[in-house]
Amino acid sequence: MSKEKIEKTILEKAEKWLSSTYDAETRDAVRNMIETNPDELTDCFYRDLEFGTGGLRGIMGAGTNRMNKYTVGMATQGLANYIKKVLPAEKELRAAIAYDCRNKSQYFAQITADVFSANGFKVFLFDELRPTPELSFAIRQLKCHTGVMITASHNPKEYNGYKAYWSDGAQMVPPHDKNVITEVEKIKIEDVKFKGVEKNISRLGEEMDNLFLDEVEKVSVSPGSNFRQADLRIVYTPLHGTGVKLVPAILERLGFENVFRVYKQDITDGNFPTLISPNPEEPAALEMALDKARKVDADLVMATDPDADRVGVAVKDHNDNFILLNGNQTAAVLTYYLLTLWLKKGKLAGKEYIVKTIVTTELIKDIAKKFDVECYDVLTGFKWIADVIRQNEGKKTFIGGGEESYGFMIGDFVRDKDAVTTCAMIAEVAAYAANQRKSIFDILIDIYMEFGFYKESLISVTKKGKAGAEEIQKMMENFRSNPPESINKSKVVLVKDYQTSKETDLVNKTETKIDLPKSNVLQYFTADGSKISMRPSGTEPKIKFYFGVKDQLNSREEYVAVNKKLDEKIEAIIKDMKLR
């Protein structure tokens, strides 16, 4: 294939990467794509990686749309420039950096540290892989002005990423996120200060681990339950990632003596050799842990993703078969447990609140209402939960918050998803239930019987490359301009468009303003209580469709039948919307 097959602007961008500024390996890779693979070249150079809900994330390789030494260096230089611009009077700027188990994570972390140090920052770099929540904690503990976590979270092995944090330990929200991108876009590769200043770099290790675990331990609301159920049988796997050290450590601190490990998955390996994908949202990721659980007759199974900010959970049903909880169910159980225990201990004083994202189950809002606790709805992404905490600092007390994608956070000492603390609390819920001769599954059924049986599901449609991104945009434009009158024979009564900030009541023919930042999310609500949400991913070439339905559960005996009925209802909605 010839150069004529490649768009002129893309070819011009790519040819800049053939200069001596770039290393030989990079130049060879770009030259090979120009000569033999114009489609791959287009995907590598048609855009620059941008900060989405999860920061900078992409496939590793050469190009402006790839994770590599140069995109990481430019992102860090832009971030450093921005910090200097907004804090010109600060005598010592500080940055904390952590990384996960992925291929090149340590390498990218060192590059990030070098660039910050060359820009005069005092840099705190973890000595080994550490979880995302500990990085968030360290930023706050060390009074850093920024921080970076090198991770692609639960994505496949080809990916890596760069999460940028502000001084409160949260990922950046507007205007900072957009302003950092503006700074990055100004930078030429020659501007990046790659040569690190070693004296400006300090290593973080066990001391920070212990400070973090001390705070996690304080979250416990029923420590007596844990010690009465010390023999609770728990299987835990870090899926080759960063949870390998701290999750077992906190479970031991809380008194759990029977924690069984999946040793093949304790091995740190960015190729994830025992997994198709290191995503605890996918049942296949928990297969080895479930096999272990059956062998040891475990009560509870937990799996954390590579950077230990998400957790997948499996519990026994009434037939002693393991079932997987989805993120909505885990969040609902945790919310119910926390509010129940806070009420029992007299800690609800009227200024407490919880937070959920707009695509997360409405069950959480119903639970909060029962306890007379305020519930905030925010856009997808934990940076928005952290933003609510920031706004309420010193005025209200944050109890917990979560989202459907297997993330939860308890207390405000961390400002991002925290699977370490969540694992500790899930184990405590299991112990609390066991003290009442119940299980977590029993508690979930209790919740459904009291508030209604909420059932949620998610499908993702992936469209690769530039053409895929354009196709996703057209899908959203069509749903936005041609909303259905009914879905699965139930009238659409409310439409929420977060891009136009309009909430349209189709029954009363009224419009109200949505008081949240603009986002490309669209929601339909139907007369029978169904909720359908559409959201293109901010970090991946996919569009996600979220489905929520509801029915009554009058007895435990009806669970199987009602569960099946709701599954069928979701499938009918998907079919009616022609999504598969």
Lowest mean pLDDT among 45-49, 64-68, 131-135, 215-219: 45-49
First to last CA, the chain: 36
**How many other β-carbons are positioned within 10 Å of the β-carbon of residue 452?**
16
Burial class (CB in 10 A: 0-12, 13-18, 19+), 234: buried
Q: What is the mean pLDDT of the chain?
A: 95
- pLDDT at position 53 over 90: no
Q: How confident is the model at residue 1 (pLDDT cuts 50, 70, 90)?
A: very low
CA quadruple 96, 100, 102, 107: dihedral, nearest 10: 30
Query: In DSSP terms, which residues pair with 411 in a beta bridge?
Result: none
Find where tokens 């500024």 sit.
21
E strand or H helix that includes residue 496: strand 490-497
Q: What per-residue confidence (pLDDT) applies to 308?
A: 98
Q: Which domains does the chain have, with CATH numbers?
A: 47-189 (3.40.120.10), 211-451 (3.40.120.10), 453-576 (3.30.310)
- pLDDT at position 539 over 60: no
Q: How far apart are the C-alpha atoms of 495 and 525, rounded to whole Å? A: 6
Helix (H, G, I), strand (E, B) or coil at 326: coil
Residues 342-363: what's their mean pLDDT?
Answer: 97
Q: What is the largest CA-CA distance in the chain?
A: 73
Helix (H, G, I), strand (E, B) or coil at 243: helix
- pLDDT at position 374 over 50: yes
Residue 172: closest CA among 86, 243, 236: 86
Residues 300-304: what's their mean pLDDT?
Answer: 98
Query: pLDDT for 136-167, tens place per residue?
Result: 999 999 999 999 999 999 889 999 999 999 99
Q: How confident is the model at residue 468 (pLDDT cuts 50, 70, 90)?
A: confident
This model's pTM is above 0.85: yes
Pair of tokens at residue 125: 């770099």
Query: In DSSP terms, which residues pair with 454 in a beta bridge?
Result: 550
Q: What per-residue confidence (pLDDT) applies to 49?
A: 77
- pLDDT at position 547 over 90: yes
- pLDDT at position 350 over 70: yes
Q: How confident is the model at residue 250 (pLDDT cuts 50, 70, 90)?
A: very high
Looking at this protein, which amino acid is placed at residue 164?
Answer: A
Do residues 387 and 519 make contact, with C-beta atoms less than 8 angstroms apart? no
- pLDDT at position 474 over 70: yes
Pair of tokens at residue 457: 């599901």
Lowest mean pLDDT among 253-267, 457-471, 504-518: 457-471
Q: What per-residue confidence (pLDDT) applies to 77?
A: 95
Catalytic residues, by residue number, are 153
- pLDDT at position 51 over 70: no
Query: In DSSP terms, which residues pair with 504 in a beta bridge?
Result: 495, 511
Lowest mean pLDDT among 5-9, 285-289, 355-359, 401-405: 5-9
Q: How far apart are the C-alpha atoms of 197 and 203, rounded to whole Å? A: 14
Q: How confident is the model at residue 182 (pLDDT cuts 50, 70, 90)?
A: confident
Determine phi and psi for 499, rounding to 5 degrees.
-80, -35
Find where tokens 């999460």 sit.
163
- pLDDT at position 450 over 60: yes
How many separate helices (H) and strands (E) can be counted in the chain? 19, 23
Instruction: Look up residue 498 and give its DSSP letter.
Output: T
Q: How confident is the model at residue 542 (pLDDT cuts 50, 70, 90)?
A: confident
Q: Does 484 sit behind a cis peptide bond, omega within 30 degrees of 0 on the bond before it?
A: no
* Strand ranges, E, within 238-358: 258-261, 300-304, 311-316, 322-325, 352-357
Q: How far apart are the C-alpha atoms of 370 and 488, rounded to whole Å? A: 31
Residues 88-109: what's their mean pLDDT?
Answer: 97
Do residues 387 and 275 make contact, with C-beta atoms less than 8 angstroms apart? no
Ramachandran class of 512: left when φ > 0, alpha when ψ lies in -120 to 50, beta otherwise:
beta
Query: In DSSP terms, which residues pair with 125 in a beta bridge?
Result: 97, 203
Do residues 226 and 220 make contact, with C-beta atoms less than 8 angstroms apart? yes
Q: How far is CA 393 from CA 172, 343, 422, in A?
A: 17, 22, 22
E strand or H helix that includes residue 461: strand 453-462
Q: What per-residue confidence (pLDDT) applies to 72?
A: 95
Pair of tokens at residue 75: 């992102």
Lowest mean pLDDT among 45-59, 270-284, 386-400, 492-506: 45-59
Q: How confident is the model at residue 54 (pLDDT cuts 50, 70, 90)?
A: low
Residue 436: closest CA among 220, 217, 228, 257: 228
Do residues 163 and 149 make contact, with C-beta atoms less than 8 angstroms apart? yes
Lowest mean pLDDT among 16-25, 177-186, 248-257, 377-386: 177-186
Q: How far apart are the C-alpha atoms of 130 and 310, rounded to whole Å? A: 14
Q: What per-residue confidence (pLDDT) applies to 541?
A: 73
